[in-house]
A and B are shown apart, each in its own frame.
Chain A
Amino acid sequence: MAADKVYDVVVVGAGASGGTLAAHLARAGVDVCVIEGGPAINTRTDFNTHALPYQFENRAIPTMKPGKPGFDSERSRGVGGKSLTWNAVAWRFSERDFKGRTYEGAGEDWPFHYADLAPYYSAIEREVGVCGNRDGLEDLPDGEFLPPVPMKCTDVAVMKGAAKLGVKVIHVRKATLSRPMKGRPACHFCGNCMAGCDVVAKYNSADVHLKPALKTGKLTIRPNAIVREVTVSNENRVTGVKYIDRESRREGEVRACVVVVSCACVQSVALLQMSKSRLYPDGLGNSSGHLGKHFIPHFTGGVQCFLGEFVGKTSVNDEGYLDHAYIPSFMHNRKRDYARSFGVQFNYQNRRAVGWARMVKGFGASYKQAVKERYPAFLTFAPYGEMLPGKSHVDLDPNVKDSYGLPRARRHVFYSENDIKIFKDMTKWSVEILKAAGADILAVGEEPRTNHELGGARMGADPKTSVVNQWCQSHDVKNLFVVDGAVFPSASEKNPTHTMMALAARTAERIAGELKRRSL
């Protein structure tokens, strides 16, 4: 990389958002450099996809094979980021998700409508392959799907139970191939998706977006470079990024006309907070004072149970691709004493991990028999709730630095009264649905736990109360963009990655157009 080279765009982070954005830019003829804190990873050889726990002394299957770098810290996961180890659930948000305040007077409206994002959802589905069933639900728009993967027997049992309560169970929708596509094979159902898919049946940004985009000659990937600052000139333009080499620890710099921050919600917020300058002493693009605020991670509950009709049955290979079914949000049409809603992911347990066995009562031969009988019947159930923007926020720890000498990002999570009401209700519904399906409840999670991270640099029409506009463009600095979960003004209860990718595609088109018009 020539030191004096100035790229059109530098994208910080090579995950689902950054990878999608960079590929779309390169394909549009934009000269783009993706800078990624982690190493390049060979998905075929570097992951422990087909390992079993007893191959490791502590019975924990490590992410990487011996000697293979990656996923060693939050800052240096690898080229592909969390898309390498995600579960690939891919929902479209609905108009209700984008317009929560209009519909219910709670949360924040996004500065655009579902119809504005719909073409980009379609583009992503055609590009990466999303399997699913067209269910015709108002709150979960259909897309351009590959055929769905059949439900597990245990899903069908849950579906029958849920139906008694008027609750619908649908096929999950995943960015995992149910049919071969563009040189990628269909899923082979080994059941360890989140260990990293070794055949790229499951989408990851490195193999599906970045590698093919290299052929354009417009894309440069710079791995092992941990960005520590986005630099800004006195003329209020960002000029590039400064990084620390992960291996040599030397400092370096990449210059560009446009900077896009896409290094995962909290790290994106933290990078802007670390980028202090004369113009922006409180963090880059933070004239509103809203950077770090409105952190809205999903929160989950959990129930573990045994489905009665499967107790004592012969164990079958139903690992599949983890969860095959889903309970979409159903409360928005029901009477309730809170705003927003929840959806349920379930039956995602990996049968090579049996951590629940210690909760089975008794000891001795009868205990051993009880575990064996329950093994085919074990099922986990996890409702995901939408957190409303409130006091939860992200900041930099003034005292703790990581191994690169950079301040650690802290997540401060406050559960509001509304959040707790959702948590209690989604837990209650989970237990009722499982009981209706004939389940014996083993354990119920008593406290909400955070999951998908969203918010912190939210988009909005008003520069006084938001960090970026509807094009993910900083209100303060014209040639600075933030593209990932950080910009979500409200969270929905749906897994967010598909929306991030659609947003990345939409933003890439905008940036490419603005560059052509020379208006950046």
Chain B
Amino acid sequence: MKAPRREALRIVGAISSTCAFPFAANELYAQHAGPHGESPAPPPARTQPEFFTAEEFALVSRMADLIIPATSTPGALAAGVPMYIDMVVSRNQEAQRLFRTSIAAFDLSCRARRGKPFLELDEAAQIEVLTPLCEAADAEAPSAQGRAGRKPEVALFKAVKSMTADGYYTSKAGLIDELGYSGNTVMAEFPVCTHEH
């Protein structure tokens, strides 16, 4: 924790406070992609990425696949995560800058160290490339989440992982099939806990 400041000033401005809980677990990147309270347009059936080039999209897709692979349950690809990431990035200029520059840096460093682009490496080599990036991202303070890591490759990994986790665990495959979400039902009574704790 930072040293306490004797006095800190915040101008909170005109942000509406609807008494939402603090520190909520539902802050996803994409939730900021539209004005609060706006009724959604029906989800268009995206077939082509809007922001990413074909090469960039292939790279982001492969990274998402490695971050949440298919196991006995569907993984990021089957859950449509790459197109979700494209949707988030296409609506966020800061993310666009981050992806464009960090993908270029990632590609350069991959070619320099491994002699070929990431997508041409075999899976074991790809995991070797991502492992130190993941370790660096994990070592950052939780408060740094969402912020750019110091190295562009780390920032790229962190952004792709965060958006993959967001997109996957809010998808039907992730929430229902993988995690077993069973709420949103009608219960006559809330059960009394009978466990030994």
Contact = CB atoms under 8 A, between A and B. Distances in A.
Interface string B178-197: 11111111111011110101
A59 B170 contact: yes
B182 to A, nearest CB: 4
A210 to B, nearest CB: 20
Interface stretch (B33-41, B51-59, B100-108): B33-41
Given A53-B175, A57-B87, A358-B145, A380 B19 contact: no
Nearest to B43: A57
B20 to A, nearest CB: 7
Which bracket fits the contact residues of B?
A: 35 or more
Chain A, interface size category, equals 35 or more
B166 A355 contact: yes
A358 B87 contact: no
Contacts of A345: 21
A297 B15 CA distance: 14
Contact of B181 (A58, A59, A315): A315
Nearest to B64: A363
Contacts of A63: 36-37
Given A62-B38, A355-B25, A367-B67, A156 B197 contact: yes
Interface of B is mostly: loop
Contacts of A453: 17
Given A58-B34, A74-B14, A190-B183, A355 B24 contact: yes
Most buried by B among A350, A391, A453: A350
A56 B130 CA distance: 31
A87 B21 CA distance: 9
B49 interface: no
B143 interface: yes
A160 B196 CA distance: 11
A150 interface: yes
B39 A414 contact: no
B14 A400 contact: yes
Contact of B25 (A318, A320, A354, A450): A354
Given A302-B23, A372-B179, A409 B69 contact: no
A189 B186 CA distance: 6
Contacts of B195: 153, 156
Interface string A405-417: 0001111111111
Nearest to A199: B186
B14 A408 contact: yes
A341 interface: no
Interface in A150-208: 150-153, 155-157, 160, 188-192, 194
Interface string B8-47: 1111111111111111111110110110111111111000
A266 B69 CA distance: 48
Interface stretch (A5-13, A438-446, A458-466, A486-494): A438-446
B78 interface: no
Given A348-B21, A354-B25, A368-B71, 5 more contacts: A63-B37, A72-B38, A150-B191, A411-B11, A420-B4
Contacts of B43: 56-57
